Amino acid sequence: MSQSLPYHLDPGPGTGGRTPRATSTSDAPSLSLDGDWRFRLVPTVADATAGFHDADFDDADWATLPVPAHWQLHGYGKPAYTNVQYPFPVDPPFVPDENPTGEYRRTFQLPQSWPGGDAVLRFEGVDSCFAVWCNGVELGNSKGSRLPVEFAVGELLAPGENVIAVRVHQWSSGSYLEDQDMWWLSGIFRSVSILARPADGLADFFVHADFDHQTGTGRLRVETSTPALLSIPELGVTDAPAAEVREFADVEPWSAESPRLYDAELATPGERVRLRIGFRTVAVRDGQLLVNGKAILLRGVNRHEWHPDHGRAVPAETRREDLLLMKRHNINAVRTSHYPPHPDFLALCDELGLWVIDECDLETHGFSLVGWAGNPSADPVWRPALLDRMRRMVERDKNHPSIIIWSLGNEAGTGDNLAAMADWTHDRDPGRPIHYEGDYDSPYVDVYSRMYPKHAEVAAIGLGEEPVTADPRLDAHRRGLPFIMCEYAHAMGTGPGGLREYQELFERHPRNQGGFVWEWIDHGIRQHAEDGTEFFAYGGDFGEVVHDGNFVADGLLFPDRQPSPGLVEFGKIIAPVRITPDPAAGTVLVENGYDFADTAHLAFTWSVAAEGVEVESGVLEVPAIAAGGSATVALPELPSGKGETWLTISAALAGGTSWAQAGHEIAWGEALIATDDAERAPTNGSIVEVRDGLIVVGPGAFDPHSGVLREFAGIGVEGPVLDVWRAPTDNDVAMHGEWSAATEWRRIGLDRLTHRVIAVETGERELVVRTRVAAATTNLGFRTDYHWSAQGSDDGALRLRVDVTPDGPWWCPLPRIGVRLGVPGRFENVEWFGRGPGEAYPDMREAARVGRFTSTVDDLQTPYVFPQENGNRTGVRWASLTASDGTGFRIDGHPHLEVTARRWTSADLDAAKHTNELRAGELVWLNLDIAQQGLGSASCGPGVLPKYRLLPVPSTIELTLRPVR
């Protein structure tokens, strides 16, 4: 079949490409062909422009398109997002006739100094398939969007002007292998260059640099395609035969924690290549993944290449920014989901220190929707393509010490072609284990990997008690493997919740060696509404016929790379040092969770704050603690404060590193040292009376019929009334979760509660409003009694106690239990004493420390790409809202409240589909809750753990309102 198919439909990898080889930094001349190319997009392959690849074709009236770029992000065609489903019929290897095809041309001048002889035209990445011509001569064609390919052009290059023409097809047989959960974006999206290949040059090399942790010896062997001389100045090697096995006593090993690299050079008569060598040994032994003899703990993320304006054509500075952000949030590992990244990214991982799982450009997930019939992983027709992809990745990236594991791809089902990829790789590179998650029998992999398992399952796997494999003959193999989660904690929208519990399971069971949060960044595409407001687009926003909505926005970073609360939380939970003060004992326990480093690079400080205001601080002397060790350190004599007083101990970088400045905080711990025993609650004092048709209780005036507060200290207000609704989070909606809380909440009408007054009772010292709150169609409701009292004068405090009693056959957890209060929008400055500074929920609150914080209503919002409940501040002892003149009011919780404040209602938040649709109203809406339901990560994975579920049980909310003048 394949002979008769055009190249873009042939299941094979392409023709004419040179043998794949390592990325190298060579002194051989090179010429970048990045920049503006002439460009034309035709709707089908049949519409190709006749003779467009001829050297003398006249393209003067063609438009230009930058290289590297995706044409859809420059006004040609539209981006399209699908997760699992193919956006075309599953009819391999065919693709629709509507196959947008980009015709690229550019001329370039060969510099006078160009050496002549052999040269290659190198493409780092073209999506999805292309054919190429040099000066009118066809060089070949290729597929494998995120993989390099080189074509020989030496004999074709002419002095002076030359022409390259490239025809790129949006769809090809290769598209069946590239069904990753991301935008479909086409074009030459990575660099293009011409590289001179000197006679007697060094085509390829493979560095094997091992580290013997028992002796501290580095063992080096460099395979070269032609004999070469090696120099490593720091190790005293000068122009020595590269192929020789060499040992170096007392070499400093490479690790993600101490990424020690040795600069080196390989020389042949025709070429010099610079390289950086990191000595490290990766092994799977006794059921553990070891680097340099030590079991490591992966604190990782899945990283797609993404930029909100440039798609997968990520600018160089953005690549570095990603890694700096990771390092600054204690992340030590990256899975390059789900394709090899730009090659420079790996060089940065070597330099800054990250463990890398390099993943092949392979995903055939859409076959799952047709029962895996015809899956390329199992059909021999596709074997050359799959092997070619693996080979191009391994050959390109093999010299990076940061890569500790090769991954065959993602979600490609099962089949012998995967086993063949693994076999080839084991043979080519015995120094790295192999990962693939999709085959639960795991016969040809070296680590056991799963995505989105529940905590209970992770615990079972940790104990080696997972169910037997489908093929029991393979069970012993899998049971002997270390366990990692290639994906967990789906970071879509508000959340993820439950990270702490996963981390505990990693730390408890030696077999569990951590994992990779899904995922690093939201793939939102920056757009502007008609009024100019920025927002980020997701699936469906470009008119796609099939799409997967906002499932593409599920990262720890917002599309503009602002860290989400989830990233801050993750950074706290995976902090490599744990600090547990015990003020009663006068000590603090410091546990070192680094795999290799001691704590000598950290400076510890202590601080005591009363009611959130620092009383005193100082340096804490902590001896250097070895990796895996701990120390109990005496605390200094601590000052006492007035009111609720907390001790915080912080560990920060003592000196600057390549990724953060001195003073950057790595870890902290806090402990309560004194509680506030002051009398906060006013006692019943004031008389309830009726004035001007309103019921007056101290500073509060109430509607006599509804019993609802209308004015507080002269300020018109709405409410407070019972509210249990929140705009569902992506995790409440649970697109790919086991159970959708949001569906149930809407069914029982939590978003449309009505209030019925049973009685408004004006006692001597208390106003009691008895109500039943319920939704149409159900017999479920809440008996809700509001008890109002005040202390003396109009200026005084107004106290509320709300008793909520669920009434009827309730069973499912509630979003929140509290009251909703609307106040005039001028009260926009917020200060609180509680946990902060960021948003927190019951199962995502480790990063929120006790303190006094200030913000504004606008800044309390977290801009999730798809609007949803957000911005909750937890453990709020008191909060004040004031206008620019300093007046306003303060709310004290008894004891603590969960607080959100926004310029729109939960209904507005629920209705909005993009951030720009949220418009400020006249009021600020406060939700003052006794509790919120946890978050979980059911958008793709487990729901809220039982201990974080907010069950409908009798509850009391108590608070005091006070004017601020």
Positions annotated as catalytic residues are 411, 487
User: What track of x and - describes contact with ligand IPT for positions 596 through 635 (by CB under 6 A)?
Assistant: ----------------------------------------
Are the CB atoms for 430 and 436 separated by under 8 Å? no
Question: C-beta of 742: minimal distance to ligand IPT in Å?
Answer: 18
Which parts of 294-313 interact with ligand IPT (CB under 6 A)? none
Rounded Cα gap, residues 469 and 475, in angstroms: 5
CA 14 to chain CA centroid, Å, is 34
Q: Is 918 in the site for ligand IPT (CB under 6 A)?
A: no
- Residues listed for the chain: 965
Q: Which of 940, 957, 959, 961 is in the footprint of ligand IPT by CB under 6 A?
A: 940
Q: How far is the CB of 369 from ligand IPT (least distance, A)?
A: 11
| Run of H or E residues at 771 | strand 767-775
505 Cα distance to chain centroid: 21
- Least separation in angstroms between residue 242's CB and ligand IPT is 40
Beta strands 333-335 and 298-302 are: parallel
Q: How far is the CB of 336 from ligand IPT (least distance, A)?
A: 12
Looking at beta carbons only, is 338 or 903 nearer to ligand IPT?
338
Return the residue nearest ligand IPT (CB atom).
Answer: 181
Nearest-CA neighbor of 397 among 347, 324, 323? 347
Q: Read off the DSSP letter of residue 423.
A: H
Binding of ligand IPT by 554 (CB under 6 A): yes
799: DSSP letter? E
* Complex with ligand IPT: residue 7 or 452, whichever CB lies closer: 452
Q: Provide, rounded to whole angstroms, the least separation between the CB of residue 490 and ligand IPT.
A: 6
Nearer to ligand IPT, 333 or 768 (CB): 333
128: which residues sit within 8 A by CB, 6+ positions away? 143, 145, 168, 169, 170, 171, 172, 174, 175, 178, 186
CA 643-644-648 angle, to 5 degrees, is 130
778 and 751 Cβ atoms separated by less than 8 Å? no
Q: Which is nearer to ligand IPT, 548 or 595 (CB)?
A: 548
Q: Tally Cβ neighbours within 10 Å of residue 509.
A: 17
**Residues 6 or more apart whose Cβ sits within 8 Å of residue 468:** 475
- Helices 499-508, 565-573: axis angle to 10 degrees equals 20
Nearer to ligand IPT, 836 or 941 (CB): 941
Angle between helices 343-352 and 383-397 (to 10 degrees): 40
Side chain identity, residue 261: L
Residue closer to ligand IPT by CB (options 446, 554) is: 554
As a whole number of angstroms, the distance between CA 821 and CA 745 comes to 22
Any contact of residue 410 with ligand IPT (CB under 6 A)?
yes
Interface mask toward ligand IPT for 318-357; x: CB under 6 A: --------------------x-------------------
Structure tokens at 95: 């693709």
DSSP class per residue in 909-942: HHH-SSGGG----SEEEEEEEEEE-----GGGS-
Q: Which residue lies nearer to ligand IPT by CB, 411 or 446?
A: 411
Count of C-beta atoms within a 10 Å radius of residue 439:
22
Helix (H, G, I), strand (E, B) or coil at 479: helix
| Rounded least distance, CB 438 to ligand IPT, Å | 9
Q: Work out whether 550 is an interface residue with ligand IPT (CB under 6 A).
A: no
Closest CA to 404 of 254, 260, 224: 254
Residue 574, Cβ neighbours under 10 Å: how many? 23
Cα–Cα distance between 520 and 503 in angstroms, integer?
Answer: 18
* Beta carbon of residue 686, minimum distance to ligand IPT (angstroms, whole number): 56
State the binding string over 67-86 for ligand IPT (x if CB under 6 A, else -): ----------------xx--
Shortest separation between residue 736's beta carbon and ligand IPT, angstroms: 5
Q: How far is the CB of 487 from ligand IPT (least distance, A)?
A: 6
Name residues whose C-beta falls within 8 Å of residue 775's C-beta, 6 or more positions apart in sequence. Answer: 748, 749, 750, 752, 753, 754, 781
Q: Which of residues 802-861 bind ligand IPT (CB under 6 A)?
A: none
Rounded to whole angstroms, the Cα distance separating 164 from 38 reads: 10
Eight-state DSSP code of residue 844: B
411 binds ligand IPT (CB under 6 A): yes
Considering the complex, what minimum distance in angstroms separates the CB of residue 560 from ligand IPT? 20
d(CA 25, CA 421): 28
Does 118 sit near ligand IPT (CB under 6 A)?
Answer: no
- In the complex with ligand IPT, the residue whose CB is nearer, 444 or 518, is 518
Give 265 or 322: the residue with its C-beta nearer to ligand IPT: 322
Among 74, 477, 509, 736, binds ligand IPT (CB under 6 A): 736
Residue 179: CB minimum distance to ligand IPT, A: 9
Nearer residue to ligand IPT within complex by CB, 426 or 736: 736
Interface residue with ligand IPT among 388, 487, 730, 839 (CB under 6 A) is 487
Size of the site for ligand IPT (CB under 6 A): 15
Q: Least distance (Å) from ligand IPT to the CB of residue 940?
A: 4
For the bound state, the minimum distance from the C-beta of residue 493 to ligand IPT, rounded and expressed in Å, comes to 12
Asked whether position 522 contacts ligand IPT by CB under 6 A, the answer is: no
Q: Using CB under 6 A, pick the residue from 164, 408, 451, 647 that binds ligand IPT.
A: 451
Under 8 Å CB-to-CB from 547, ≥6 apart: which residues? 80, 81, 82, 539, 540
Residue number, 555 or 581, with CB nearest to ligand IPT = 555
Q: Which is nearer to ligand IPT, 181 or 446 (CB)?
A: 181
Indicate which single residue of 118, 181, 429, 466 sits in contact with ligand IPT (rule: CB under 6 A).
181
**For residues 554 and 828, which CB has a smaller minimum distance to ligand IPT in the complex?**
554
Q: 């519409």: which residue's tokens? A: 47
Say how far apart CA 517 and CA 529 lie, in whole Å: 32
Can you give the C-alpha Rg of the chain in angstroms? 31
The burial of 779, by beta-carbon neighbours within 10 Å (0-12 exposed, 13-18 middle, 19 or more buried), is given as: exposed
Angular region, 160: left φ>0, alpha ψ -120 to 50, beta rest: left
CA 302 – CA 331 distance, rounded (Å): 11
Residue 878, helix vs strand vs coil? strand
- Per DSSP bridges, beta strands 333-335 and 355-359 are parallel
In DSSP terms, 964 is beta-bridged to 888
> Using CB under 6 A as the criterion, which residues of the chain lie in contact with ligand IPT when the complex forms?
83-84, 181, 338, 410-411, 451-452, 487, 490, 518, 551, 554, 736, 940
